[in-house]
Amino acid sequence: MYKAIHRPVLAAETLRLLAPDVRSDALFVDATTGEGGHTELFLSSCPRLTAIALDADARIQEKAKERLACFLPRVTFVRAWFDEFFANYPFERRPDIILFDLGISIFHYERSGGGFSFSKDEPLDMRLDSSNGKSAADLIGGLDERELADLIFRYGEERYSRSIAPALQKALRNGRLKTARAAAEVIAEAVPPAYRRGHLHPATKSFQALRMAVNDEPGRLVRALNGAFSVLNPGGVLGVISFHSLEDRAVKQFMKTKVGERHSVNKYRPSPQFVAAEGELLTPKPVSADAAEIKENPPSRSAKLRVIRKKKDEIE
């Protein structure tokens, strides 16, 4: 059997909030299956549950197929981007449970060969779907310096974006940007020495920004949350695990809107509105990992789980 490298985060809390009834014959959509950690937990904890296991990345999906083979035919695999999947939802039955565990998996850093890790001599690619779209190297070459700096600042919240962007572009022109490791070295040289000695690798934020842009993560997330909520069965639950503030802000904002929180239509002529609530928050505050989980599984440190239940009387 395939031995996974990624450990599912917030496993107990995710099951508690999303799969409370083990006798249920619910339909579960794992929108970000990865190596199948959460899907396996749901399938093994609820013997009558069926699952649709989705991922954009064919490399990691092969691993999930191997790992979850023992659950066939209770699991169906779909390779697709989650926003496109929910926009053209292809099944007749609507899901009762939907989970998003955002970002990428340890597998991507360690075993994918996709250039996600700044310590690997792999092409600077970062595409989840490597059959389509532009690689990170293409992106660096295709933007002007200011656009690249803005992108690194916006998606990575990287304060040295203005010196990193020209350094990356110069290295690309000189043929120095052949690998992810080379890109990380260029970034490290472009920032002040004190920053290089900080607790984060100096390329962490820039790599996050490039990966987010290459895979259009912010755009896909917002589209997918809306699409997922509309296909969700009334009474069903939608959970999202996010790992950084940009993602969590988008999730929080989306859920606020769905629970009918007051908002202003026009910032110059504030006209407060109440929209009808379509859902109910099951996590007024996001759920985080406890000290024991963080010790055992350090990537859980920044995980935040938010869950919303769709109202039974659906508003069309």
Ligand X SMILES: C[S@@+](CC[C@H](N)C(=O)[O-])C[C@H]1O[C@@H](n2cnc3c(N)ncnc32)[C@H](O)[C@@H]1O
Residue ranges binding ligand X (CB under 6 A) = 6, 8, 32, 34-38, 54-57, 60, 81-82, 101, 103-105, 128, 220
Q: Which residue is nearest to ligand X (CB)?
A: 37
92: left (phi over 0), alpha (psi -120 to 50) or beta: alpha
Structure-derived torsion over alpha carbons of residues 243, 247, 249, 253, reported in degrees to the nearest 10:
-130
Nearer to ligand X, 124 or 225 (CB): 225
Q: For residues 100 and 52, what is the distance between their CA atoms, to the nearest angstrom?
A: 13
Q: Which amino acid is at 27?
A: L
We find the least distance from the C-beta atom of residue 139 to ligand X, in angstroms, to be 17
Q: How many other CB atoms sit within 10 Å of the CB of residue 60?
A: 26
Q: For residues 152 and 167, what is the distance between their CA atoms, to the nearest angstrom?
A: 13
CB of 97 closer than 8 Å to CB of 27: yes
Q: For residues 270 and 280, what is the distance between their CA atoms, to the nearest angstrom?
A: 26
We find the least distance from the C-beta atom of residue 311 to ligand X, in angstroms, to be 26
Q: Distances in Å between the alpha carbon of 278 and those of 78, 86, 274, 285? A: 28, 18, 12, 19
Nearer to ligand X, 149 or 287 (CB): 287
Nearer to ligand X, 32 or 135 (CB): 32
We find the least distance from the C-beta atom of residue 79 to ligand X, in angstroms, to be 9
Nearer to ligand X, 27 or 225 (CB): 225
We find the least distance from the C-beta atom of residue 10 to ligand X, in angstroms, to be 10
We find the least distance from the C-beta atom of residue 156 to ligand X, in angstroms, to be 17
Nearer to ligand X, 79 or 162 (CB): 79
Q: Which residue has the tokens 């899907």?
A: 39
Nearer to ligand X, 164 or 180 (CB): 180
We find the least distance from the C-beta atom of residue 154 to ligand X, in angstroms, to be 18
Q: At what angle do helices 58-68 and 37-45 cross, to 10 degrees?
A: 30
